[in-house]
Structures are given as structure tokens and as C-alpha cells.
């Protein structure tokens, strides 16, 4: 290879390397761009049949493979740590029943989403029940509706609630039925964020029974029984900081991390490549 | 015993010893399920297609059932061994379910035997590659025979890319002697479809030599007969499984595109996944027009496959096996790139997942599995594993890029100027010329005062 050819080759190599480095780094910004411009305030389908919704205050997962059969699992985004997703409450299909049939195993489920509402249809030969999940900036509304009246036993989980409707965990040793009401208010703590959380569930009709279940350090579930053709649960929550939080890491921060990873790996490659070329040139010079 | 036999026997022994005790439940489960169906004469594509439609109806999303999505020929490599297994163990189920995210139910004592039998084609492919390489260079044969990555993918995971590697190697080695055989072996290498990117290369190289092109296409056509059969019998199903599924896959794997796994928006992800495909077409066009006819076949095949590894949207951990024997034959490539996909395997799937056949033998071990999996899922849900996976993906892409540049550089730098080097025999001529030149150069150095 002549010197001229070698120079042209080197130029081409350098050009291609620069293009490829720029390509890698540019693509690494895709998650961030998507997260900032396209992912807000609409239902997004992903994976093998999961959905999520993100707005300024809430993050909702439905059927996420790592989150299990919690349909939906509502998280709250604290104003002082917007990228953190703190579990507020999960409606568990796995432990809920309609007309004595388990919601997870006893029904054929189909999901359809438009940007603002997720419509989940649970069907059996004798009945079809729709679960609509509608999110606004200040609440998440879960509506269960059917053309026929149905009896439901729903379980709402959170690990763990420190008090429910003003009753602290210290006062309850076994499952407790609370007075009929359409409002459930609960509190919880987040040790990592050093924060105190408040949750509120407003029901559209009076349920036949509400029960709260104590666990080791707090209540871990609320069960609601009702008979109706429609019932809505309007869930809202908030958090207040009471201490100095440790650095809060969250999955939501990954879009910011990806470009850093890309730039670091590409920079390392360029350094090693340059060093290798310098060594090669030195060896070539010495041998000639 | 001569060295060649020793390497081959040792390679076989290592694989046979490991094979019965490990598996990737999803992939081995697919082969098992498909072998059962093939033996019963059922249509695999109808089954996979029906499952896909069911999932799409349930979720309202363009999702696909990840079942048998390969060339129809593939399953006939496994079915005879499954048939032998049924002669010993009967027709009862041995592995029940196992498709992600479910865990399989395994029936003992037959599970280890089933695993061994289903891995026999992979072991044979590995051993044949070792045998062929040992005939050329014992050192290279040893690298392939005892490379942890090759052993892991074949007999621990149970992935069959070694078959693709064997047939691609055979296609390359026979290309100078028989275009028919080269076409036949190339057709067999298509059992995982991604080697389809090499077809334009072969076509361009044989363009103008019509008789040879016809021989090559004749060999290839034979391997496509089963595809033609399914296109007649169940056109919608095979199209859905082979074309729509493979074409509509999300990008990702051991490459620079796996960042998409954190973008939880399927429709958006599918649109972005078209970007590398466009670049792949551009890269293939460039490489084929600039290098395909001039460069030696080995380098051309590797350059095209490297371009695919850079711009193909799905590059799974095991794909490198398909070109690993060719990488070993090439002077320009660094075979140590296997480290990146090997590391990636353990970031994507926990190591204990491959040990299910052993862990499922006792409720105590099963308990340990659940405990370990709890931790793994927490790491995954927090996103901690995505960061090293992305870093390794980019690193692998850059290593592939570096190897591609080496190839292009070497090819431009004179290989093409030596007459008769476009075929494997020519490559050997080139090799001899190089060795002679190096000898002259070394003599001149030692004679210096």
C-alpha cells in the first residue's frame, strides 16, 4: 500500500469512526427525547401486553411483567423528587373476586387503550365487566362497570399503610371492619425519601363492607365488598418531605443515564483506538 | 492418538458432560414443543400464529408469541433425536410450559435425558466445526472447542447457532469446488434467517458466471422446498411467523440499540427500530458494490455479517457463534470479541436460570431459586442491570466496527491485487505469499549489522 493510499485509508477510517461515534451518542438520547416529549399523559403499551401512564403527579402500571398482576398499580411522584415513583395503592386482580370468580384466573381479559382511558374488559359467558382507568392531573379514577349487577370483593394493597381513616396500626391486632363510608384515607411512610405520604380513595357508592388488614409494621391491604352495576374509585395521593432524603435512584432516571453511558464507552474506545494507532505508527517507523 | 482426534473427542466429551443439566427454559422449551408437534404431524406455524393472534386480541398491541420462528428445516434436525427419546421414555410430557414469563414444570427422571437428546444436533455441529478447523489449524480448533462462550451457548443454553456456523463454514469452504454444495450449505445456514443478508453477496460474486450461479441457486432451492410447502399449505401462518414477526421485531440485544428496552412505548419503539434497518441497507449496498467482487470470499462474508451486527436491529447473544469459525479463519479479526456477548448473557438472564433442571430436583433448591429471583427482579425493576447491558452492547458494537474497519482496510490494502485470491484456495495462496514475504523481511532484519 502506498503512503498516499494509506493516508486516504486513514482519513476514511477516521471519518467512519466519527460518524459511528456520533450515531451511537445521538441514538442514546432517544429515551430522553421520548420521555420528555412523547411519554407524558397518555397510555402507552409495551412489553408483551403491559400499559403505563405518566403525568406530573402519577405513574400507573397495568400488567407489568415485573410488577405482577396488580391492575392497576398507582404510584405517586413526589413534588420534591419528581423522578421517584412511590407506590400509592395497587388493585390486585390476583386476590380479587367478582361473582365468586377470581379476576385474574376466572375471566378472559382484553385491553384497549386510547390516549386518556384504558379499557379492560373481563368477560365470562354470563357477564362482561369493564374496568376503565382514567387519569387526570390530580387523581386516578378506576371504574368498574357492567350492564348487570355484580358482587365484588376487591383487594387494594400497599406495603404498608401506617394508618387508615385515622386508626393507627398500634390499635389493631386483627382484621378490622370499619364503619360504612365512601371515603378511605390512609397514611404511609417512605424511609428512602424520608417522607410522609397521604392517600385518599373516594367511592361512588356505599360498599357493603370495608375491612383493613394489619401486618407486621402497618396495614398491608384494604378489602372492599360491594354489589352494584357500577362502582368508581377515585384515588389521589401526595407526599411531604420530613427529613433529608438519601439520593433517590429510580428507573425513571435511566433516560438521563443512557447518554452518559454512551459518551463514556465511545470516549474509551476512541482513546484506546488512538493509543493503538500511535503504537502501530511507532512500530512501523522503527521497522522502516 | 493424533492431535486432531484428541481435540475432537475432548470437545465432544465436555459438551456431553454438561448438556443434560442446563437449559434456557424458553428456547429449549420451544424446540421441545415444536419437536412434539412435528412428530405428531401438526403445523407449527399455525400454532405460533394462532397464539400471536390470541395475544394481539387480548392486549390490543402488535405483540408476538415468541415460539418457533425459524426455517421449517430446523425442526427436522431435532425431531429424530426427540423420536429416539420417546422410544426410551415414552410420549408423556417432560417439559410443561416455560414460555416467558412462566416457569416450566419438569418431569423427572426424564428431563436430563431429554436435554441431552435435544442438544445432540448442537453437539454434533460443534464437533464437526472443531474437526474441520483442526484439519487446518489445531490452535484455532482448540479455541473453538474450548471457548467458554461457544460451550455455554450450545450446551448450557441450548441454542443452535452452531448449526448456522457449521453450514456457513461449509458453504465458504465448498465455494471453490462446488457451487451447488455451497448453495446447499448456504441454504441450510438460513435456518435462523439472519444469514439472508449474505444472499446478495453470493449473487453479486457469481453474477456473469451464469452456470455457477445456477448451480448455487439450485443448491439453495433444495433447502427452500419446505418453505414452499408451508407457503402452499398455510401461507398466512408462515408469513405471520417468519416475515411479520421477524420484520416487526423490536431492536435490541447485544448492540447499541438496547436502550430501547427502557422506552416503554411499543408503537414508538417499532418506528425507531426502522432506523438501523435503513442504515443496514445502505451499508450492505456500499460493501457489496465496493468489496463483494474484489475481496476474498471469507473477508466479504465477514464484512457483510459485521455490517449486519452493527445495523441489524436484533442481535442476540448467541448470533456471534454463526460466524465464529470464520472469524477464527480470518487473519484480520480478533476472535476475543466473544467476551462481550458472553458477559451480556449474565446481565440479561440470571445464571441460575440456566440451572433449572438441577434446581427443580428439590423443593429446597426451588426455594433458593425464588429467593435469588426476588433479588434479581428488584435489580431489574430498579433499572440497575440496564446500565451495564447498554454499556456492553455499545462496546460490542464498537468492537465489531473495529473488526469491520480492519477487514476493509486489509482488503483495500492489496489482497485484491493478488490474482486468484477471491476464493478459499486463493486465500491460501495469499497466506503463503504473506508467509514468504514475512520470512524475507525477518531475514533482512536478522542480516542487519
Q: Are residues A138 and A10 in the same domain?
A: no
Average pLDDT of each block of 10 consecutive residues along chain B (449 residues)? 91 97 95 95 94 93 90 95 96 86 90 97 98 95 97 97 97 95 97 94 93 96 96 94 88 96 94 94 91 87 96 95 97 94 96 94 93 91 93 98 90 46 43 48 43
CB contact under 8 A, B391 and A46: no
Q: Are residues A75 and A148 in the same domain?
A: yes
| Cross-strand pairs, A61 | A52, A73
* Rg of chain A taking only CA atoms, in angstroms: 27
Q: Are residues A129 and A84 in the same domain?
A: yes
Q: Are residues A228 and A272 in the same domain?
A: no
Q: What pLDDT is attached to residue A212? A: 94
CB contact under 8 A, B63 and A49: yes
Contacts (Cβ under 8 Å, ≥6 apart) of A213: A175, A219, A220, A221, A222, A223
Q: Are residues A280 and A191 in the same domain?
A: no
Q: Considering only alpha carbons, which residue of chain B is nearest residue A28?
A: B259
Q: What is the DSSP letter of B320?
A: G
Q: What pLDDT is attached to residue B413? A: 52
Q: Are residues A212 and A79 in the same domain?
A: yes
Q: What pLDDT is attached to residue A5? A: 65
- A84: number of Cβ within 10 Å: 23
pLDDT tens column, A163-172: 999 999 888 8
Helix (H, G, I), strand (E, B) or coil at B385: coil
CATH number of the domain that A90 lies in? Answer: 2.70.98.50
Nearest C-alpha of chain B: how many angstroms from A276?
12
Residue A217 counted as domain residue:
yes
Residue A39 counted as domain residue:
no
Q: How many pairs of residues across A and B have Cβ atoms under 8 Å apart?
A: 127
Q: Considering only alpha carbons, which residue of chain A is nearest residue B272?
A: A30
How far is Cα of residue A22 from the mean position of the Cα atoms in its chain?
A: 32
pLDDT tens column, B318-357: 999 999 999 999 988 999 999 999 999 999 999 999 999 9
Residue A257 counted as domain residue:
no
Listed residue (B286, B289, B283) closest to B207, CA to CA: B289
Range of the domain at A79: 45-249
Q: Are residues A104 and A14 in the same domain?
A: no
Q: Considering only alpha carbons, which residue of chain A is nearest residue B405?
A: A13
Q: Are residues B409 and B436 in the same domain?
A: no
Q: Considering only alpha carbons, which residue of chain B is nearest residue A273?
A: B402
Q: Are residues B447 and B369 in the same domain?
A: no
Query: How many distinct structural domains can be found in chain B?
Result: 2
- CA–CA distance from B178 to each of B131, B172, B181, B191 (Å)? 20, 10, 5, 21
CB contact under 8 A, B61 and A265: no
For residues B389 and A258, give the distance between their C-alpha atoms in angstroms, rounded to a whole number: 11
CB contact under 8 A, B262 and A255: yes
Residue A94 counted as domain residue:
yes
CB contact under 8 A, A46 and B266: yes
Residue A37 counted as domain residue:
no
Interface test with B, best of A4, A104, A110, A251 (most B CBs within 10 A): A251
Q: Are residues A203 and A275 in the same domain?
A: no
Residue A206 counted as domain residue:
yes
Interface test with B, best of A254, A266, A286, A287 (most B CBs within 10 A): A254
Q: Are residues B189 and B123 in the same domain?
A: yes
pTM of the model: 0.88
Q: Are residues B80 and B97 in the same domain?
A: yes
Residue A24 with chain B: CB contacts under 8 Å: 256, 394, 397-398
Q: Are residues B381 and B352 in the same domain?
A: yes
Nearest C-alpha of chain B: how many angstroms from A46?
5
Residue A280 with chain B: CB contacts under 8 Å: none
Q: Are residues B364 and B439 in the same domain?
A: no
Q: Are residues A116 and A15 in the same domain?
A: no
Residue A269 with chain B: CB contacts under 8 Å: 395, 398, 402
Q: Are residues B274 and B378 in the same domain?
A: yes
Q: Are residues B412 and B426 in the same domain?
A: no
CB contact under 8 A, A44 and B272: no
Nearest C-alpha of chain B: how many angstroms from A29?
9
Instruction: Please give the full DSSP string across chain A, using - where no structure is assigned.
Output: --HHHHHHHHHHHHHHHHHHHHHHHHHHTHHHHIIIIISBTS-EEETTTEEEEE-SSEEEEES-TTT-SEEEEEEE--TTSTT--EEEEEEEEEEEEETTEETTTSSEEEEEE-SSEEEEEEEETTEEEEEEEEE-SS-EEEEEEEEEEEEEEEEEEEEEEEEETTEEGGG-SS-EEEPP-SEEEEEEEETTTTEEEEEEEEESS--SEEEEEE-SSSEEEEEEEEEEEEEEEEEEEEEEE-S-------GGGHHHHHHHHHHHHHHHHHHHHHHHHHHHHHHHHHH-
Q: What is the DSSP letter of B244?
A: I
Residue B262 with chain A: CB contacts under 8 Å: 31, 251, 254-255, 258
Residue A38 counted as domain residue:
no
Query: How many distinct structural domains can be found in chain A?
Result: 2
- Pairing relationship of beta strands A58-62 and A127-135 according to DSSP bridges: unpaired
Q: Are residues B411 and B424 in the same domain?
A: no
Listed residue (B244, B312, B228) closest to B48, CA to CA: B244
Range of the domain at B286: 3-417
Residue B101 with chain A: CB contacts under 8 Å: 48, 65
Q: Are residues A214 and A283 in the same domain?
A: no
Q: Are residues A83 and A216 in the same domain?
A: yes
Residue B402 with chain A: CB contacts under 8 Å: 269, 273
Nearest C-alpha of chain A: how many angstroms from B203?
27
CB contact under 8 A, A34 and B265: yes
Tell me whether the omega of the peptide bond preceding residue B66 falls within 30 degrees of 0, making it cis. Answer: no
Torsions phi, psi for B331 (to 5 deg): -80, -25
Residue A220 counted as domain residue:
yes
CB contact under 8 A, A48 and B63: yes
Query: Which parts of chain A have pLDDT scores under 50?
Result: none
Listed residue (A23, A39, A41) closest to A31, CA to CA: A39
Q: Are residues B305 and B438 in the same domain?
A: no
Q: Are residues A112 and A26 in the same domain?
A: no
Residue B442 with chain A: CB contacts under 8 Å: none
Q: Are residues B317 and B356 in the same domain?
A: yes
CB contact under 8 A, B59 and A49: yes
Q: Are residues B176 and B94 in the same domain?
A: yes
Amino acid at each position: 500500500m502506498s503512503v498516499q493510499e494509506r493516508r486516504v485509508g486513514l482519513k476514511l477510517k477516521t471519518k467512519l469512526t466519527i460518524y459511528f461515534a456520533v450515531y451511537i451518542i445521538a441514538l442514546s438520547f432517544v429515551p430522553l427525547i421520548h420521555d420528555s416529549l412523547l411519554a407524558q399523559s397518555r397510555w402507552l403499551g409495551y412489553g408483551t401486553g403491559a400499559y403505563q401512564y405518566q403525568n406530573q403527579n402519577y405513574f400507573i402500571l397495568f400488567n407489568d411483567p415485573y410488577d405482577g398482576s396488580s391492575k392497576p398499580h398507582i404510584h405517586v411522584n413526589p413534588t420534591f423528587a419528581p423522578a421517584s415513583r412511590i407506590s400509592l395503592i395497587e388493585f390486585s386482580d390476583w386476590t380479587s373476586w367478582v361473582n365468586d370468580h377470581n379476576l385474574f384466573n376466572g375471566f378472559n381479559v382484553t385491553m384497549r387503550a386510547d390516549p386518556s382511558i384504558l379499557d379492560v374488559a373481563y368477560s365470562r359467558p354470563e357477564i362482561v365487566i369493564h374496568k376503565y382507568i382514567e387519569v387526570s392531573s390530580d387523581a386516578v379514577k378506576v371504574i368498574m362497570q357492567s350492564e348487570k349487577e355484580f358482587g365484588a370483593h376487591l383487594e387494594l394493597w400497599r406495603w404498608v399503610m401506617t394508618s387508615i381513616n385515622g386508626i393507627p396500626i398500634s390499635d389493631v391486632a386483627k382484621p378490622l371492619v370499619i364503619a360504612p363510608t365512601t371515603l378511605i384515607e390512609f397514611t404511609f411512610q417512605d424511609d428512602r425519601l424520608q417522607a410522609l405520604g397521604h392517600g385518599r380513595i373516594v367511592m361512588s357508592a356505599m360498599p357493603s363492607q370495608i375491612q383493613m388488614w394489619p401486618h407486621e409494621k402497618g396495614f398491608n391491604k384494604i378489602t372492599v365488598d360491594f354489589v352494584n352495576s357500577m362502582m368508581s374509585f377515585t384515588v389521589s395521593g401526595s407526599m411531604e418531605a420530613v427529613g433529608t432524603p438519601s439520593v433517590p435512584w429510580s428507573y425513571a432516571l435511566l433516560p438521563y443515564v443512557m447518554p452518559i453511558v454512551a459518551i463514556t464507552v465511545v470516549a474509551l474506545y476512541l482513546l484506546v483506538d488512538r493509543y493503538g494507532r500511535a503504537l502501530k505508527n511507532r512500530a512501523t517507523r522503527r521497522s522502516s | 492418538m493424533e492431535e486432531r482426534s484428541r481435540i475432537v473427542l475432548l470437545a465432544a466429551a465436555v459438551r456431553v458432560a454438561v448438556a443434560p443439566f442446563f437449559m434456557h427454559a424458553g428456547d429449549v422449551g420451544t424446540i421441545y414443543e415444536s419437536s412434539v408437534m412435528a412428530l405428531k404431524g401438526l403445523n407449527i406455524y399455525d400454532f405460533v400464529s394462532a397464539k400471536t393472534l390470541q395475544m394481539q386480541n387480548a392486549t390490543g398491541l402488535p405483540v408476538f408469541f415468541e415460539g418457533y420462528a425459524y426455517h421449517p428445516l430446523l425442526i427436522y434436525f431435532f425431531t429424530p433425536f426427540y423420536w429416539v427419546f420417546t422410544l426410551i421414555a415414552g410420549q408423556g410430557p417432560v417439559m410443561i410450559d416455560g414460555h416467558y414469563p412462566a416457569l416450566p414444570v419438569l418431569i423427572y427422571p426424564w428431563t436430563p435425558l431429554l436435554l441431552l437428546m435435544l442438544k445432540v444436533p448442537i453437539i454434533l455441529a460443534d464437533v464437526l466445526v472443531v474437526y474441520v478447523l483442526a484439519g487446518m489449524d489445531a490452535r484455532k480448533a482448540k479455541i473453538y472447542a474450548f471457548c467458554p462462550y461457544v460451550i455455554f451457548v450450545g450446551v448450557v443454553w441450548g441454542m443452535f447457532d452452531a448449526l448456522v456456523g457449521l453450514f456457513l463454514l461449509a458453504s465458504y469452504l465448498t465455494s471453490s469446488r462446488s457451487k451447488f454444495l455451497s448453495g446447499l450449505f448456504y441454504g441450510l445456514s438460513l435456518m435462523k434467517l439472519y444469514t439472508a443478508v449474505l444472499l446478495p453477496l453470493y449473487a453479486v460474486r457469481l453474477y456473469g458466471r451464469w452456470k455457477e450461479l445456477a448451480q448455487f441457486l439450485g443448491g439453495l432451492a433444495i433447502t427452500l422446498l419446505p418453505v414452499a410447502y408451508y407457503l402452499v399449505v398455510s401461507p398466512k401462518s408462515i408469513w405471520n411467523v417468519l416475515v411479520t414477526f421477524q420484520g416487526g421485531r423490536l431492536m435490541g440485544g447485544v448492540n447499541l440499540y438496547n436502550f430501547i428496552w427502557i422506552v416503554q412505548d411499543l408503537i414508538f419503539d417499532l418506528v425507531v427500530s426502522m432506523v438501523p434497518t435503513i442504515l443496514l441497507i445502505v451499508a450492505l449496498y456500499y460493501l457489496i458494490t465496493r468489496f463483494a467482487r474484489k475481496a476474498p470470499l471469507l473477508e466479504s462474508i465477514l464484512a457483510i455479517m459485521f455490517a449486519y451486527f452493527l445495523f441489524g436491529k436484533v442481535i442476540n447473544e448467541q448470533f456471534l457463534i454463526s460466524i465464529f469459525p470464520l472469524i477464527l479463519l480470518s487473519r484480520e479479526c480478533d476472535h476475543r470479541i466473544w467476551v462481550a456477548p458472553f458477559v451480556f448473557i449474565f446481565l440479561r438472564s440470571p445464571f441460575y436460570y440456566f440451572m433449572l433442571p438441577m434446581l427443580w430436583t428439590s423443593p429446597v433448591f426451588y426455594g433458593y431459586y425464588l429467593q435469588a429471583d426476588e433479588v434479581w427482579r428488584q435489580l431489574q425493576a430498579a433499572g440497575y442491570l440496564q446500565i451495564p447491558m447498554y454499556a456492553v452492547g455499545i462496546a460490542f458494537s464498537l468492537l465489531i466496527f473495529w473488526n469491520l474497519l480492519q477487514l476493509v482496510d486489509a482488503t483495500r490494502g492489496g489482497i485484491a491485487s493478488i490474482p486468484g485470491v477471491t476464493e478459499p484456495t486463493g486465500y491460501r495462496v495469499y497466506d503463503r505469499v504473506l508467509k514468504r514475504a514475512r520470512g524475507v523481511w525477518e531475514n533482512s532484519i536478522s542480516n542487519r549489522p
